[in-house]
Amino acid sequence: MITQKEYAKRRRKVAKKLPENSITILLSATQKQRSNDTEFPYRQNSNFYYLSGFKEDDSALVIHKGKKSTHCYLFVAKKEPAKELWSGKRLGVEKAKALFSFDDVFEYTQLQEKLTAFSEGISALFYDFKVEDARLAPLKEGLKSVRSYNNIAPVIEALRLVKSAAEVQLIKEALLITKEAHHRAMQVSKELRYEYELQAELEYVFKRRGAYSDAYTSIVACGNSANTLHYIANDRKLLKNRLILIDAGCEYKYYASDITRTIPSRGYFTKAQKELYELVLRVNKEIIKMIRPKVLRSKLQSRSEELLCKGMLELGILHGNFQELMDEKLFKKYYPHGIGHWMGLDVHDEAPYKDDEGNEIPLKAGMVLTIEPGIYLDESDKSIPKKYRGIGIRIEDDILVTSTGYENLSVDIVKEIKDIESLASL
């Protein structure tokens, strides 16, 4: 659990980076209408949530940094019984004051008036450029003395890069649920007929275990479907003796998990499938082993490219000279994506990859990243051995960088061929 103390500490860290005589406004996410009276499920904006832990819409966070002191305020929706009848109870000002450690809490309707009251001598306004919308224009209008508009997002996102112990704990909890979902998928796939049935089995576990939702739309891709990287239709048949690439992870208490496993549709890998799978697995494990503070992600990327390129050359998927294939990046046809990305409140966590000078940020204890090598061999590609056509494999784990190396947070989600086969044969 993230305590109020931790949220307050994050706000202090942000405030430290702000100039004197500045106001920072972070607005909650808005409700997104689906049609007529129906809305998409609401989820708080991650940067706002990171600094507040507040889940309701119609809310805002304000940091007022004056010459001598800094104050943080929360603005929350008014308690209105007629509205609450339809869309649920609101916390309201009094309860928010008791439960959240802000200097003061006001009604959201007071935002404009309070900003005007704080505005004396204020010259800089900070807000999240990604959530710039109609709500901001009148607020900006009211802050007459402001000379500069600045993006607060990079300040918050730089903090989000290194996770606290409480954040890592939540990711671990998300992964316990995701583990159960993937293991269930391994056990039941042979009994099912369509990709969406398998998707339902995974998401059943997410929901039953209290996860808010998936952290991204699940990919359940049988056979050649896996060669569409963002395949989310999940509407094709689970054919016999194919591989199924499952990229699915729940979001739990606002924290993501992001796991890919590739499993046989009928319980056992064929010989050709094993050859490819073992290559991807070897690369997944070797790259994970490289993780420790000070290592550059680009090193993990280039090493994964070398290993996959060499492996594909040995299997007769690529032809020619290794160095030429590397120099001309010909392996990209079959391994076109990155080795991984930051993960946290968002699956592709909004955290920087480069510092202010444009240099790559090296790994540091507390960072969480995915490692996800893959090979994608389209069924229509006549240049590769027939036995490999129509196979797509990715193996993705979530890794915490520690002071001495790494901790594989998803180590318990099986990925060895014998372990997948033994779950599938239960």
Catalytic residue list: 37, 230, 247, 258, 337, 341, 348, 372, 376, 394, 396
Q: Using the rule CB under 6 A, which residue among 216, 255, 342, 406 binds ligand GLY?
A: 216
Secondary structure class of 201 (helix, strand, coil): helix
Residues 6+ apart with CB under 8 A from 233: 195, 225
Residue 247 sits in the site that holds ligand GLY (CB under 6 A): yes
* Helices H / strands E in the chain, number of each: 13, 19
- Please report how close the Cβ of residue 397 comes to ligand GLY at its closest, in angstroms: 11
For ligand GLY, the binding residues in 331-360 under the rule CB under 6 A are 341, 347
Residue 398 sits in the site that holds ligand GLY (CB under 6 A): no
- Please report how close the Cβ of residue 73 comes to ligand GLY at its closest, in angstroms: 36
- Number of Cβ within a 10 Å radius of residue 186: 25
Nearer to ligand GLY, 216 or 376 (CB): 216
Distance of CA 123 to the CA centre of its chain: 35
Site string for ligand GLY, 252-291 (x = CB under 6 A): ------x---------------------------------
Six-digit token string for 6? 């931790």
128 binds, among ligand GLY, Mn ion, none (CB under 5 to 8 A by kind): none
Nearer to ligand GLY, 14 or 347 (CB): 347
Residues 6+ apart with CB under 8 A from 246: 182, 185, 198, 202, 218, 219, 220, 221, 260, 261, 262, 263
C-alpha pair distances (Å), 268 with each of 191, 242, 272: 14, 9, 12
Q: How many residues in the shown chain lie near ligand GLY by CB under 6 A?
A: 7
Strands (E), 66-142: 70-76, 104-107, 124-127
Handedness of CA 169, 406, 46, 145 (dihedral sign): positive
Site string for Mn ion, 244-283 (x = CB under 5 A): ---x----------x-x-----------------------
- Contacting residues toward Mn ion, per CB under 5 A: 247, 258, 260, 370, 396
- Contacting residues toward ligand GLY, per CB under 6 A: 216, 247, 258, 341, 347, 372, 396
